[in-house]
């Protein structure tokens, strides 16, 4: 059944694939980006089922205007796909405080802005679906990605809690944790290198940067297949609450689950008996 789908970051990468696949499947698409002309060009020009509108996710005003434009054009919003994001890399001490704040502005407060603007529409309808793209880095912290992982862990916690907030209004949520997909995340503009330089880290920083640059275009995941999988989830009566996307991501999630269980068990001797003596658990 045709849905009205609002996609952020639709000018390139996975966002373009999502919008393109949604149009091909017969959906009505609100494709947003900071440069609408580039979004429209990426999607092949004007189309009856396509609304292109400007949206810088760090602006709540932009988000509210985009939500209103969607309702004005199509009458409703069925699915919000929070896709826009970027990647600040580096060892923690080499990421400036300003860079860390910019990472959170885009990856955390950005999707919060858009969701905040769309939720009143979904509540009024008593129906809707919020899908937020996080990352395997939202499950597993890795070297050289402390800012990115911190932002994605924050998105995960927000989405897990949001599910309980909106469930009474027949609004579904799905958090998506992709592994390595051949998107444009690793190109300049989407990936930002550390501003600071500390001699102790220098022998490790340069090889890390070169390794990440060399990975671009060689990631195993096909973003068009991921886009089609997201549309399948959007069409489910009871959508997946978490979608671990890609064999590499599934392997990482399984390893993290085992690690958490082992850490919980290792904590038992010290952690089980920390209540007041007169408390019954």
Question: Catalytic residue at 148?
Answer: yes
Q: How confident is the model at residue 185 (pLDDT cuts 50, 70, 90)?
A: low
The pLDDT value given to residue 192? 85
Q: Tell me the per-residue pLDDT of 194-248, one tens digit each, with 9 for 90 and over.
A: 889 999 999 988 888 887 776 776 676 789 999 999 999 999 999 999 999 999 9
116: tokens are 């905040």
Q: Is 148 left (phi over 0), alpha (psi -120 to 50) or beta?
A: alpha
Instruction: Choose, from 148, 169, 180, 201, the residue flagged as catalytic.
Output: 148
The pLDDT, as a whole number, for residue 206 is 84
Q: What pLDDT does 25 receive?
A: 98
Tokens of 90: 């580096």
* Surface-to-core class of residue 230, CB atoms within 10 Å of its CB (0-12 exposed, 13-18 middle, 19+ buried): buried
Q: Is the pLDDT of residue 189 over 70?
A: no
What confidence category does residue 12 fall into, taking pLDDT thresholds of 50, 70 and 90?
confident
pLDDT-based confidence at residue 190 (cuts at 50, 70, 90): low
Residue 174 phi, psi dihedral angles, 5° rounding: -140, 130
Euclidean distance between the first and the last CA atom of the chain, given in angstroms as a whole number: 48
- pTM for this structure? 0.93
DSSP count for the chain of H helices, then E strands: 9, 9
For position 118, what pLDDT does the model report?
98
Check if the beta carbon of residue 245 is closer than 8 Å to that of residue 179.
Answer: yes
pLDDT reported for residue 216: 73
From its phi and psi, is residue 98 left (phi > 0), alpha (psi between -120 and 50) or beta? alpha
């Amino acid at each position: 059944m045709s849905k009205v789908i609002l996609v952020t970051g639709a000018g390139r990468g996975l966002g373009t694939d999502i919008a393109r696949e949604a149009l091909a499947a017969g959906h009505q698409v609100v494709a947003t980006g900071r440069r609408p002309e580039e979004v429209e060009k990426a999607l092949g020009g004007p189309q009856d089922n396509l609304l292109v509108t400007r949206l810088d996710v760090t602006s709540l005003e932009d988000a509210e205007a985009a939500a209103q434009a969607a309702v004005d054009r199509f009458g409703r919003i069925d699915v919000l796909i929070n896709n826009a994001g970027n990647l600040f890399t580096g060892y923690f001490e080499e990421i400036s405080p300003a860079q860390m704040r910019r990472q959170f502005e885009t990856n955390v407060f950005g999707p919060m802005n858009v969701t905040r603007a769309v939720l009143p529409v979904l509540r009024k309808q008593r129906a809707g679906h919020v899908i937020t793209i996080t990352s395997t880095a939202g499950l597993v912290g890795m070297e050289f990605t402390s800012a990115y992982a911190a932002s994605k862990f924050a998105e995960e916690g927000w989405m897990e809690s949001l599910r309980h907030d909106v469930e009474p209004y027949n609004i579904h949520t799905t958090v998506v944790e992709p592994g390595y997909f051949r998107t444009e995340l690793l190109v300049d503009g989407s990936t930002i290198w550390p501003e600071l330089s500390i001699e102790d880290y220098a022998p490790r920083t340069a090889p890390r940067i070169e390794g990440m640059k060399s990975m671009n275009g060689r990631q195993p995941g096909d973003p068009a297949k991921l886009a089609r999988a997201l549309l399948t989830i959007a069409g489910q009566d009871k959508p997946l609450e978490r979608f671990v996307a890609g064999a590499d991501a599934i392997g990482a999630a399984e390893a993290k689950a085992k690690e958490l269980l082992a850490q919980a068990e290792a904590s038992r001797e010290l952690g089980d008996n920390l209540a007041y003596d007169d408390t019954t658990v």
